Amino acid sequence: MKKVISLILILLLALTACGTQEKEETATPQEKKTEEGTNAAKEEKTNKRELTAEDEQFSKLIVEKNYDEVVKQTVSLKTESQKDFYYIASAFIKNNENQTKTYDPADLTAMKTDYQVIVNYINRVKFVPDEIKAEVEGLKTAAEEKVAEADKQLTK
């Protein structure tokens, strides 16, 4: 019976792998310019978002390093503000976990993965209030340096 189930799982895996190939489309230079302009306008709009009372509340909690409370209040991810602060707080929580962790110097893959998670969280953020911008950018830079350092050690 176990062999039959294993065979069915392998067949399903093979069928889904074959069926998910997508055709890549090449964009003309005009389409690329339009897309870049749209992305730049969208990015500019999100970076210039009005600071709400909710943003101020979450910023204050971040400054106070009360990351767990931010996650608790934003876990529903209902608004853009909640999403942004959820990712910011999660990045800081992950950084605190990484600081207390000991990594095997012979295998830095775990360290690279842990710090890449921080970078990924921060890359998802669309708006960072000015009062915590330097702190968030510092965390991102430090995490990127750790990823690069681990990558360098792994490629030796």
The three-state (H, E, C) secondary structure of the chain, written as one string: CHHHHHHHHHHHHHHHHHHCCCCCCCCCHHHHHHHHHHHHHHHHHHHCCCCCHHHHHHHHHHHCCCHHHHHHHHCCCCCHHHHHHHHHHHHHHHHHHHHHCCCCCCCCHHHHHHHHHHHHHHHHCCCCCHHHHHHHHHHHHHHHHHHHHHHHHHCC
Locate the domains of the chain by residue range. Answer: 42-154
Of 24-38, 53-67, 82-96, 109-123, the poorest mean pLDDT is in 24-38
What's the average model confidence in pLDDT over 90-117? 91
The tens digit of pLDDT for each residue in 5-15 reads 765 766 565 56
CB 91 within 8 A of CB 114: no
Q: Say whether pLDDT at 83 is over 60.
A: yes
Q: Say whether pLDDT at 118 is over 70.
A: yes
